Amino acid sequence: MGIGSSTSGAWRFLKRRNRVGARRVGTSFPKIIQMTLSAVLAFWIAEQLLGHVDPIFAATSGLLVLGFGTATTLRRSLEVAIGCTLGVAVGDLLLTILGSGLWQAGLVLLLSLTIARFLDSGPIFTTQLGLQSVLVVLLPIADAAGPFSRSLDAVVGSLCGLLIMMIFPRDPRRTPVLELGKLLGELSAILQECSRAVSSSDATLAFHALVRARGTQKLLDSLPAALNMGREVATLSPAHRHRRGDLGRLKVTADKTDLAVRNSRVLARRLTTVINHGALTDHGVEAVASLLSELAEAVDALGYAVLETSDSGYRRAVGRAKHELADCASQLDPKTLQVSGLQGEGMVLLLRPLVVDLLEATGASHDDAVALLPRL
Q: Which domains does the chain have, with CATH numbers?
A: 2-166 (no CATH), 174-371 (1.20.58.220)
Mean pLDDT (whole number) for 225-244: 71
Q: Report yes or no: 230 and 339 within 8 Å, Cβ to Cβ.
A: no
pLDDT in tens, 195-227: 999 999 899 999 999 999 999 999 888 888 878
Structure confidence at residue 57 (pLDDT): 75
- The count of residues in the chain is 376
Tell which wins on pLDDT, 176 or 29. 176
Q: What is the mean pLDDT of the chain?
A: 81
Where does the pLDDT of residue 71 fall: very low under 50, low under 70, confident under 90, or very high at 90 and above?
very low
**Predicted TM-score of the model (pTM):** 0.67
pLDDT in tens, 5-20: 567 767 777 777 787 7
Q: Which long-range contacts (CB under 8 A, 24 or more apart) does 370-374 make?
A: 372/326, 372/329, 372/330, 373/329, 373/330, 373/332, 374/330, 374/331, 374/332, 374/333, 374/336
pLDDT in tens, 123-156: 666 676 677 676 666 666 655 455 567 777 778 8
CA distance 157 to 88: 12
What are phi and psi for residue 309, nearest 5 degrees? -90, -25
Backbone dihedral region for residue 354 (phi beyond 0: left; psi -120 to 50: alpha; all else: beta): alpha
pLDDT in tens, 108-128: 778 777 877 777 666 666 676
Cβ neighbours around 309 below 10 Å, total: 11
CA distance 8 to 14: 10
Structure confidence at residue 328 (pLDDT): 93
Give the best-scoring range by mean pLDDT among 21-35, 69-83, 354-368.
354-368
Question: Residue 4 pLDDT more than 60?
Answer: no
* Contacts with 33 (C-beta within 8 Å, 6 or more apart), sequence order: none
Tell which wins on pLDDT, 139 or 262. 262
Of the ranges 35-39, 100-104, 341-345, 365-369, which one carries the lowest mean pLDDT score? Answer: 100-104
Structure confidence at residue 1 (pLDDT): 45
Question: Residue 187 pLDDT more than 90?
Answer: yes
* Contacts with 138 (C-beta within 8 Å, 6 or more apart), sequence order: 100, 105
* Nearest Cα residue to 133 out of 105, 159, 100, 157: 105
Tell which wins on pLDDT, 68 or 96. 96
* Nearest Cα residue to 185 out of 219, 229, 135: 219
Structure confidence at residue 191 (pLDDT): 95
Mean pLDDT (whole number) for 65-85: 63
CA distance 118 to 122: 10
Tell which wins on pLDDT, 200 or 29. 200
